[in-house]
Amino acid sequence: MRGHNRAISFMLRVGLFAVFAYAGIEKWHNSRDFVEQIANYQFFPDRSPWVALLLPPFELAAACSILLLSRAWRQAGAILMLAMLLMFTVAMARAWTLGINIECGCFGKGSPTIGPLSFVRNASLIAGTLVLLWFDRESTAKSGQV
């Protein structure tokens, strides 16, 4: 990986780590509100406590693995992050098309209401994760490391 690619990769890792770690901690901290926020999506509302319990540790695990662990684990973390981002985007798009006017719940209590900006933010995070995966794939191919 060339110097500037490495720098971009590092900045992306730090940025994604910060976003996911913050989101995970906020959700965990305000888990009761988070349960309600998930139920508001009207997407299996009776299962919302399970989602509220599992989502923050998943976000923290993904965040830690992309910044603190080795490249192989970083890839797994980025894939997990990508899967979560796609899931969030689908849930938000569903609520948006149904006209359900709710807080997105992305960063716990006081999150912004679902709107065009939420989709722009998610698209940016997805793009960042894909770029990170691409850089890692490139460097893995060059070094021959799995």
Residues near another protein, by CB under 8 A: 28, 31-32, 35-36, 39-40, 45-46, 48-50, 52-54, 56-58, 60-62, 65, 72-73, 75-77, 79-80, 98-103, 113, 140, 146
**Whether 112 contacts 36, CB under 8 Å:** no
User: Which one, 3 or 46, has the nearer CB to another protein?
Assistant: 46
> Which amino acid type is present at position 120?
V
For residues 76 and 140, what is the distance between their CA atoms, to the nearest angstrom?
13
**Sign of the CA dihedral running 103, 106, 112, 113:** negative
In the complex, least distance from residue 102 CB atom to another protein, rounded to whole angstroms: 4
Nearer to another protein, 7 or 44 (CB): 44
Q: Is the Cβ of residue 28 or residue 107 nearer to another protein in the bound state?
A: 28
Dihedral sign from CA coordinates of 112, 118, 121, 122: positive
CB of 130 to another protein, least distance (A): 15
